Amino acid sequence: MDTVGQAERYLRKIVAFLYSWLSTDGEVLGYILGVCHFVGSMTIFAMVLVSHTLYPVVWFQIMVFLLLLIIWAQHLFFKVCISIVAEQKLTNNEPPFFQIIRDILHIQPTEFVNYFLVAETVWVGCFSLELIAKLSVYLYEYYDLVLQ
């Protein structure tokens, strides 16, 4: 069994279980998942901003980096977002996330996906370099090394 299909099926079951009190219709559940996907994406973006401005502690930055790394790896290796596949199978139509992107950003979803993967790769690369720099500074201070 393919990994994407299995993960997507689990995601659909989780959404159906969590929102069964609201609806059992697949299309409604697909739109709920699409909105949750969009809100989750914006929350992660806000966490990156907060981890560099308001709360720049290392443990929070590592947590955000690991979350970004997992999402980036999923997008890169599976060549698809599992949430998008689940939304599409629930609604039997275009994923609601793409409709939200088209309405808010006025950009075609195929262009958005390509731009987002490039931007996500840059974010993960820069974030990893930043954490390596923080580790280097910590090690220099810990071992009382002097930069000359």
| pLDDT one-digit tens code per residue, 12-48 | 899 989 888 888 888 899 999 999 999 999 999 999 9
Rounded Cα gap, residues 87 and 94, in angstroms: 8
**Distance between CA atoms of 65 and 71, rounded to whole angstroms?**
10
Q: What is the pLDDT of residue 77?
A: 87
CA distance 49 to 51: 5
pLDDT of residue 6: 87
pLDDT digits (tens, 9 = 90+) for 82-104: 999 999 999 998 899 998 888 88
pLDDT at 148: 61
What number of CA atoms fall less than 13 Å from residue 97's CA on the CB side?
Answer: 23
pLDDT on residue 1: 52
Residue extents of the structural domains in the chain: 3-142
Q: 107-121 pLDDT, tens per residue?
A: 888 788 888 889 999
